[in-house]
A and B are shown apart, each in its own frame.
Chain A
Amino acid sequence: MGVRDEATDGEVVRAVLAGNVERYAVLVGRYRDRYARYAARMLGSRDAAEDAVQDALVRAFDHLADCRDPDKFAGWLFLILRNRCFAERRRRTREGRSLELADEAFAAPDRPDGNVEQAESARALEQALGHLTSQQRDVFVLKHVEGLPYDEIAQLTGATVASLKMRMHRAYDRLRELLKEHL
């Protein structure tokens, strides 16, 4: 897939819906990495993130006819992925597996510029994130990893800014408690 496709998301969606299935590859290429970090931080590992992104892209295709505004494909896809992450966490909780993160933390070792102490902190925080509820983790990642302001997160997720702040502030306190030896 060497040629860069300049069509807008909306144009590609419409082409796919019109029957040109192969054009979907353009959207896959555009978005496969963009939400990988979010998924990885929500689920605690790159492998889980890859599964989630793959599922979300397939599901988006299956439901493409239901995308109400094809030009807003990106946001719509994100919501599908987000739901998938939440569902995965619920599934793990049911199976009693929600806290298995330690071995999968992939922060730091791959970073060319990291130092050991930074790596340690990142790993500790990653583990601590696993102890937050899905909603707390979601708002923390969107704000502090993805850098979105509260009102965008609110628009994106349908929560109110007030409830997002409430979750976030609980998350801050919980993280402080979990990380007290590292601070």
Chain B
Amino acid sequence: MTILRLALVALVAAAFPRVLAGQADVAAQLRGRASPEVIRAVQSIAATTAARGLPVDPLIQKAIEGGAKHVPADRVVAAVRALAAQLDAAAGALRDGGIGAPGADVVEGAAYALNAGLSARQVQDLARVSRAPYDPGLTLRVAATLAALGVPPKKTLELVQGMIKAGRTPGDLVDLPTEVQTSVAEGATPAQAAEGLARGLAHAPGRQPDFTPPGQAKPHPHKP
């Protein structure tokens, strides 16, 4: 395995600690960081979430975040509930995409994608095309990050699917957000950046340019 693949595996096996859904654990993590009302509500939501086989840690992190941002208790609870629903939707989309028992990382990646604006259908499509060597968690995180950078969801999908169809490496996929950022820094909109990348793919689906090679064009209009 190359170093790059190891790095990708490390990324995908991301280091958020796996938290057991025990009530005691939830309370222990939230003590001093959230109000009793929030703690009670999160314990309940976490129990249901864990029972569905979904990761609970994101819920705890969200509650901690809400406390740190001094958000009123009812809004924190609402956000945690919304996140739980998103995790559920993510798992559903993955199942429809052919991944019956997704790991926590893949679920979180899918939830991140939904949060960034991709639809459940789009998550499903991405899961479906992510057969080995493409890890669905990684594909989804790349797509989510592109969307989070402002690339419209449809263009995000075109670009990511295009890369996979063209047989680009997972490493190339991981580079996409940085490439988009670079183009944006040079004046393109995120959508244009993504389009440019998709067409610049030497093997992108879509038409080939009808090209007059440089050196054979008409004479320059201002040649002296």
Task: Tell me the nearest residue of chain B to A133, going by C-beta.
Answer: B186
User: Shortest distance in angstroms between B218's beta carbon and chain A's nearest beta carbon?
Assistant: 6
User: Shortest distance in angstroms between B167's beta carbon and chain A's nearest beta carbon?
Assistant: 7
Report chain A residues within 8 Å CB of B183. 135
User: What are 27 residue pairs bridging A and B, where the CB atoms are less than 8 Å apart in the complex?
Assistant: A35-B214, A38-B214, A63-B202, A63-B203, A66-B167, A66-B202, A67-B202, A67-B203, A72-B208, A74-B211, A74-B213, A79-B202, A83-B202, A90-B182, A135-B183, A135-B186, A136-B187, A146-B215, A147-B217, A147-B219, A148-B212, A148-B214, A149-B217, A156-B209, A158-B195, A158-B200, A166-B187
Contact flag A76-B188 (CB < 8 Å), given A37-B214, A66-B167, A157-B199: no
Interface centre among A82, A147, A157, A170 (most CB of B within 10 A): A147
- Whether the Cβ atoms of B203 and A79 lie closer than 8 Å is no
Give B181-224 as 1s and 0s: 1 = Cβ < 8 Å from A's Cβ atoms: 01100111000100110111011000011111111011110000
- Majority-rule SS of B interface residues: loop
In this assembly, does B82 line the interface, its C-beta being within 8 Å of a C-beta of chain A?
A: no
- Whether the Cβ atoms of A79 and B215 lie closer than 8 Å is no
In this assembly, does A51 line the interface, its C-beta being within 8 Å of a C-beta of chain B?
A: no
Q: How far is A83 from B208 in the complex, measured between Cα atoms in Å? A: 16
Contact flag A147-B211 (CB < 8 Å), given A76-B202, A158-B195: no
Task: Tell me the nearest residue of chain B to A76, going by C-beta.
Answer: B202
Report chain B residues within 8 Å CB of A35. 213-215
Q: How far is A133 from B39 in the complex, measured between Cα atoms in Å? A: 52
Interface centre among A60, A63, A170 (most CB of B within 10 A): A63
In this assembly, does A163 line the interface, its C-beta being within 8 Å of a C-beta of chain B?
A: yes
Report chain B residues within 8 Å CB of A34. 213-215
Q: Which 6 A-B pairs have the closest CB atoms?
A: A75-B211, A158-B199, A66-B203, A146-B214, A133-B186, A147-B217
